[in-house]
């Protein structure tokens, strides 16, 4: 076998692992370089452990709601050490699985820092790897604003390593990561404030959904303060003192920055080989994931496409097909389903109402249904559910579907399949509902809420 690799991947996150193992399965000689952990952000300090924490945060509410059903599930306390230990055990198990799925098809795993020194050479520790293709899949890293005392706050990665659980928490940010962590802390019993410098949280989501979920989040006990930012953090009596932009102060035990993520490109040698970047430091690529340097490719969060694990996984598959397969595929970013695991959950796929009106002016019908779920008629909770379909009137095509409510992500996944298949509103109308479920509302909305 030649000493020249067919593919060297820098980064063993979701996209890098998928690309490397699928390329190796075609018979290509592949190495993947990783200096941190296998599985990347999602497995280690992202969606997997975060979802486990979300589950934990819901049990207190479940116990409180059980009384209405005649069940006594008194909450007798919460032990952070147990949750953290069990989470760590599961992440360790997943790391082992990732190691096996790489080595199974013959991928060489190199635990070192990767640096591109030429279009066909990568330095990995004390080794120089010669390769026909280089793939950058290093993902992103949490960003902290440059304010006095920022080092006293945690980022989203740090939350998963906390040794003790704080009783008073300030979460800074308004994106889905901030909203999810605020829900976790509040659900586990912490006095939680969510501070956002903008007018409304969850920028980029459908405005009606944003407004509705803001109201529902407030019911969970989170104190949401918009147009508010922290300008300085100080140590005070074993805790933290946050100085806000309006001059007021907030005392807490922990500050969590969820203020965005930046491409993890430091030390990769991109400038020395001429890889072009955007102003936000994301790597510029074409539809074949090739950078400005021939033979050097990039995918995943580092190229500025939607920062979602399934996107990186699909990019890895498309890349392998282009380079080692039939070369018939390009990435389609039109119908990407996603969820926000706040309480209640958000699920969404397709266009927001605002995007739909911009693309198809005077051709949009909006259908909505807001209700109190059957469960909460006995639970005592005032939580409400919102479902929304956005339809292009001229051809009856469903171009957007959105939901706020329990298990929204699970429900929207099926809706996404229908929309990929070209479902029209008539298809939804002809589909029988499953009764009694919340999901049946998606196939029983008959009256147009508004035409735009």
Q: What is the pLDDT of residues 22-40, one digit of tens each?
A: 999 999 999 999 999 999 9
Residue with tokens 């097909």: 321
In a domain, 331, yes or no: no
Give the pLDDT score at 290: 98
**pLDDT above 90 coverage of the chain, percent:** 97
In a domain, 2, yes or no: no
Spatial neighbors of 19 by CB under 8 A, at least 6 apart, are 7, 9, 135, 137, 299, 315, 316, 317, 319, 320
Closest by Cα among 51, 34, 33 to 42: 51
2 has a pLDDT exceeding 80: no
Give the pLDDT score at 412: 98
Closest by Cα among 39, 28, 37 to 5: 28
Same structural domain for residues 15 and 44?
yes
Give the pLDDT score at 354: 98
Same structural domain for residues 317 and 354?
no
Other beta carbons within 10 angstroms of residue 180's beta carbon come to 25
Same structural domain for residues 319 and 342?
no
CATH of the domain at 370: 3.30.390.30
In a domain, 380, yes or no: yes
Q: Which helix (H) or strand (E) holds 391?
A: strand 385-392
Same structural domain for residues 14 and 137?
yes
The confidence band for 3, taking pLDDT boundaries of 50, 70 and 90, is: confident
What digits encode the pLDDT tens for the residues 333-367? Answer: 999 999 999 999 999 999 999 999 999 999 999 99
> Domain boundary residue among 259, 283, 305?
259
Same structural domain for residues 171 and 316?
no
Same structural domain for residues 109 and 236?
no
Supply the pTM of this predicted model. 0.95
CATH of the domain at 225: 3.50.50.60
**What is the rounded average pLDDT of the residues 269-293?**
97
Domain total of the chain = 3
Q: Is 68 exposed, middle or buried (0-12, 13-18, 19+ CB in 10 A)?
A: middle
The confidence band for 262, taking pLDDT boundaries of 50, 70 and 90, is: very high
147 has a pLDDT exceeding 50: yes
Same structural domain for residues 306 and 242?
no
Q: Which domain holds residue 287?
A: 7-142+262-324
97 has a pLDDT exceeding 90: yes
200 has a pLDDT exceeding 70: yes
169 has a pLDDT exceeding 70: yes
Closest by Cα among 289, 286, 291, 288 to 300: 289
> Domain boundary residue among 295, 324, 353?
324
Q: What is the DSSP string of 8-32?
A: EEE--SHHHHHHHHHHHHTT--EEE
In a domain, 330, yes or no: no
**What is the rounded average pLDDT of the residues 264-283?**
97
Same structural domain for residues 44 and 163?
no
**pLDDT above 70 coverage of the chain, percent:** 100
> Domain boundary residue among 217, 239, 259?
259
The confidence band for 171, taking pLDDT boundaries of 50, 70 and 90, is: very high
Same structural domain for residues 253 and 268?
no
Same structural domain for residues 157 and 130?
no
Same structural domain for residues 401 and 431?
yes
The confidence band for 1, taking pLDDT boundaries of 50, 70 and 90, is: very low
**What is the rounded average pLDDT of the residues 57-61?**
94
**What is the rounded average pLDDT of the residues 324-338?**
94
Same structural domain for residues 255 and 404?
no
The confidence band for 237, taking pLDDT boundaries of 50, 70 and 90, is: confident
Q: Which residues participate in catalysis according to the annotation?
A: 435
Helices (H), 256-396: 270-273, 309-324, 353-359, 376-379
Question: Could you tell me where the beta strands, DSSP code E, fall in 237-363?
Answer: 239-244, 249-252, 254-257, 261-263, 296-298, 338-340, 346-350
In a domain, 43, yes or no: yes
63 has a pLDDT exceeding 50: yes
Give the pLDDT score at 74: 80
């Amino acid at each position: 076998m030649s000493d020249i690799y067919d593919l060297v991947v820098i980064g063993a996150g979701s996209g890098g692992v998928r690309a490397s193992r699928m390329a190796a399965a075609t018979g290509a000689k592949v190495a993947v370089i990783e200096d941190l952990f296998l599985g990347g952000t999602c497995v280690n300090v992202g969606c997997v452990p975060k979802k486990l924490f979300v589950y934990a945060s819901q049990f207190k509410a479940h116990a409180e709601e059980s009384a209405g059903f005649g069940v006594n599930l008194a909450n007798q306390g919460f032990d952070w050490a147990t949750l953290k230990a069990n989470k760590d055990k599961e992440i360790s198990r997943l790391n082992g699985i990732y190691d096996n799925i790489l080595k199974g098809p013959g991928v060489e795993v190199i635990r070192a820092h990767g640096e591109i020194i030429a279009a066909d050479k990568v330095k990995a520790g004390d080794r120089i790897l010669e390769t026909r293709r280089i793939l950058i899949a290093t993902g992103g890293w949490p960003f902290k604003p440059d304010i006095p005392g920022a080092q006293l706050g945690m980022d989203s990665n740090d939350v998963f390593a906390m040794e003790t659980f704080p009783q008073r928490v300030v979460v800074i940010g308004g994106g889905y990561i901030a909203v999810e962590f605020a829900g976790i802390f509040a659900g586990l019993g912490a006095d939680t404030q969510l501070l956002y410098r903008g007018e409304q949280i969850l920028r980029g989501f459908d405005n009606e959904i944003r407004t509705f979920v803001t109201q529902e989040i407030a019911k969970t006990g989170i104190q949401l303060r918009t147009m508010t930012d922290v300008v300085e953090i100080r140590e005070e009596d074993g805790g933290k003192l946050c100085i806000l932009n309006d001059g007021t102060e907030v005392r807490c035990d922990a500050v969590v920055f969820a203020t965005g993520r930046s491409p993890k490109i430091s030390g990769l040698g991109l400038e020395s080989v001429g890889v072009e970047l955007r102003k936000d430091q994301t790597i510029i690529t074409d539809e074949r994931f090739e950078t400005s340097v021939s033979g050097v490719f990039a995918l995943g969060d580092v190229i500025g496409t939607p920062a979602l694990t399934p996107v990186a996984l699909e990019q890895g598959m498309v890349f392998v097909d282009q380079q080692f397969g039939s070369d018939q595929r390009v990435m389609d970013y039109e119908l990407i389903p996603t969820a926000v695991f706040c309480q209640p959950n958000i699920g969404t796929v397709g266009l927001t109402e605002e995007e739909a009106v911009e693309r198809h002016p005077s051709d949009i019908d909006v259908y909505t249904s807001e209700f109190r779920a059957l469960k909460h008629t006995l639970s005592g909770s005032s939580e409400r559910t919102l479902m929304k379909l956005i339809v292009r009137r001229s051809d009856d095509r469903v171009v957007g579907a959105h939901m706020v409510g329990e298990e929204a992500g699970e429900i929207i996944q099926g809706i996404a399949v229908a929309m990929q298949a070209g479902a029209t509103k008539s298809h939804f109308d002809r589909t029988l509902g499953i009764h009694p479920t919340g999901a049946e509302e998606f196939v029983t909305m008959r009256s147009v809420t508004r035409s735009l």
